[in-house]
Amino acid sequence: MKKNHEYFERAKRFLVGGVNSPVRAFRSVGGEPPIISHAKGARLYDVEGTEYIDFVSSWGAAILGHAREEIVDSVARAARDGLSFGASCDAEATLAELVLSAFRGADKARFTSSGTEAVMTAVRLTRGVTGREKLVKFSGCYHGHSDAVLLKGGSGAAQFSAYDGIPTGVARDTLVAEFNDTQGIERLFETHGHEIAAVILELVPCNMGVVLPDAGFLKEVERLCKKSGALLIADEVITGFRFGFFGVQKLYGITPDITTLGKIIGGGMPVGALVGRSEIMNCLAPEGRVYQAGTLSGNPLAMCAGIAQLSILKNDPSVYKTLSALSAYLNDGLKQAVKTSNKSVFLNAKESLHTLFFGASDASDFSSASKCSVAVENLSPESACSDVVKDFSSASKCSASAYAEYFGKMFGAGFYLPPSQFEACFLSAAHTKEDVNIYLQAVKRNLS
């Protein structure tokens, strides 16, 4: 049987770094990535036949697990009718209606082929609507790889301190603030309020690892936008439909002007979307003068996958209920593991999303913090954010090498975790209590 190594060597001959998305190359954690042959439920299988319990879940898209039958059947049926029309199909309006039913105050949608494109379009739209040029983003939040939002980006971009190819002019128009720093964002608005077209943020950042928003911080951002006439873009590419048939904005009482979506709404196929009020969305072409288009936008296979996934999420209330209960069980277990660990380790979790952050072995970077810290929020945002890892600056102090060591042990034991500290682990509805117990045992073993 050919080994992962041989497949990866071949990939490196033909693909840059052997991959099509940088984090997959395992540069942060060392070693070689597995080459996946197939996936089912909560399991991934590589070309050597090794089975992994998957806590990446296609970065959240596979909320129902991999290769869920109803979704696969729906895509297969659609495929027989044609892969791409270059013209409209009815499934586009059906998916739009489903998505919009979950967002109060959003009347119109535009589908793209990725979250990156959705954000890129949202940013252009805010500039077109307001006639202003500056964009505010938060360090450690990741919004895809378009020029305007990549600066101080989380996720894979967090491994790089500078990115070539972004024009200085674009960089000058992106103002970067620290997440959870209310005074910092207030200062930015005092100086630039009249020039700011939009603020974009992940309401619960997941791309610097999971970080919980401080009570009041999100409300203050919303207030500042309203006061200055800037638009608020909630990037819910990860959090949309993650905690229930709604966006996380509902849990925090935030009403953004535009919401960007991806991942879950595509059921595993390439999809992104932006949704918002008609008066804003109608500034897009063909109604308005802000141009955006896509050969594969509204692709029939992608639309059908999204419809199948969202229909299950909408019509079977047991899915979110079970996922919530399993998440609470997992997070309790993780709390215990962190509290009894002799390592410097910090847990941030929001329901089915969690990150274990590792301090340096002597915890010197967090000298004022206790050796371990736990910040877990279930559905209602009642608890305060972590006093340890609460922004990109604190996340960046965590030890990449300690995470890499932990990752290596977990990977060797058959768990596929995010191959970088600056990511979330995703629980899916296909994980079982037994999977979670096996995972917790391994976490405990490797934290001691």
Residues interacting with ligand PLP, by CB under 6 A?
59, 114-116, 119, 142-144, 155, 202, 207, 235, 237-238, 262, 272
Closest distance between ligand PLP and the C-beta of residue 351, in Å?
Answer: 16
| Residue closer to ligand PLP (CB basis): 62 or 237 | 237
- Residue 339: both structure tokens together: 């509290």
Catalytic residue among 52, 54, 134, 142: 142
Residue nearest to ligand PLP according to CB distances in the complex: 115
Contact in structure between 98 and 310 (CB atoms under 8 Å) = yes
Nearer of residues 59 and 439 to ligand PLP, judged by Cβ: 59
Q: How far is the CB of 145 from ligand PLP (least distance, A)?
A: 7
**Nearer Cβ to ligand PLP, position 222 or 435?**
222
Closest to ligand PLP by CB, 28 vs 116, is 116
Q: By C-beta, is 270 or 333 nearer to ligand PLP?
A: 270
Nearest one of 20, 9, 29 to 412, comparing CA atoms: 29
The nearest distance, CB 119 to ligand PLP, in angstroms, is 5
User: Residues near 257 by Cβ (< 8 Å), separated by ≥ 6?
Assistant: 126, 198, 225, 231, 232, 233, 276, 277, 280
Contact present, 224 and 183 (Cβ < 8 Å): no
Give the shortest CB-94-to-ligand PLP separation in angstroms. 21
Smallest gap from Cβ 162 to ligand PLP, in A, equals: 20
| CB closer to ligand PLP, 17 vs 229 | 17
Contact 307, 315 (CB under 8 A): no
Catalytic-role residue among 46, 54, 173, 235 = 235
Phi, psi values for residue 279, rounded to 5°: -60, -30
Give the span between the Cα atoms of 400 and 402, in whole angstroms.
6
Which of the residues 134, 137, 263, 350 is marked catalytic?
A: 263
**263 has catalytic annotation:** yes
- Closer of 126 and 399 to ligand PLP (Cβ): 126
Whole-number minimum distance, CB 206 to ligand PLP, in Å?
6
At 153, list the tokens.
């980006």
Phi, psi of 205 (to 5 degrees): -60, 140
Minimum distance from CB of 424 to ligand PLP (Å)?
Answer: 9
Closest to ligand PLP by CB, 56 or 443: 56
Nearest distance from C-beta of residue 115 to ligand PLP, angstroms: 2
Terminal Cα-to-Cα distance of the chain (whole angstroms): 36
User: Known catalytic residues?
Assistant: 142, 235, 263
